[in-house]
Amino acid sequence: KDSQAIDLPMLGGPIAIGYNVPGVDKLNLDAATLADIFNDKISTWDDEAIKKLNPDAKLPDLKIQASHRSDESGTTDNFTKYLKAAAPDDWKYEGGKSWEAKGGQSAQGSSGLAGLVKQTPGAISYFELSYAKDGIKTVDVKTAAAEPVKATVENATAAIGAAKVVGTGKDLALELDYTPDAAGAYPLVLVTYEIACDKGNKADTLPATKSFLNYMASEDGQGLLAEAGYAPMPTEIITKVRETVSGLS
């Protein structure tokens, strides 16, 4: 009864914007343009807003096939949080795990959306970076930095490094910055937390709990994430996580 449930950030998930536009191997988009694409206000790939961001690309007169999750999803929640924060004049929806905008196709799970993008010329969708494989190209996101930022685990870690710890006590909940201006900070990220009681844990299971959490937060545990398409926590944050785990009782 005297314990606090605390958030322990353990890994980041870069949210990639996958696209299938024949002849276009590099594509830059900003938050406002993405908002209009997923809100069915930009309907073809040769739209002037897209041309302005990609002056050297040969953009075809091809219908945009924007797709979103049909099921409730933390990826949808974080993607729309980004649109709401970075393009508030263009994205008027409240956000959440359910998709709210009108139009577009839908599919279940990140794997379903990735499959749609791979099979459909003109398609664009969002999913965790680990699903952007088998030739799926990803959008470079234009931020306030000088150059558009690629969707990589390293760039996601850099963005999480700009987050603020907003939890109280031992809680390490983070507030992400969806409009970073630092070079190489990819703004479309989500954070996965482990949640534990800070004290009052059962004596017979506490050693196993701490061992599990310590391994996830260790250099060995964090070192496995990039290969799986996920972002390790920045040094400053994961150091706090290790200190907090060691104090669980």
For residue 66, the model assigns a pLDDT of: 97
Q: Are strands 65-69 and 5-19 parallel, antiparallel or unpaired?
A: unpaired
State the DSSP string of 38-85.
Answer: HTTS--BTT-HHHHHH-TTS---S-B-EEEEESS--HHHHHHHHHHHH
Mean pLDDT in order along the chain per 10 residues (249 residues): 93 96 97 97 97 97 97 95 96 95 93 96 96 93 96 95 93 95 94 95 96 97 93 96 97
Q: Facing residues of 13 across strands?
A: 190
146 torsion bin: left (phi>0), alpha (psi -120 to 50), beta (else): alpha
For residue 1, the model assigns a pLDDT of: 77
Mean pLDDT value across the chain: 95
Q: Facing residues of 229 across strands?
A: none
Give residue 209's identity as a one-letter amino acid code. Answer: T
pTM of the model: 0.91
φ, ψ at 214 (rounded to 5°): -65, -40
pLDDT digits (tens, 9 = 90+) for 111-149: 999 999 999 999 999 999 999 988 899 999 999 999 999
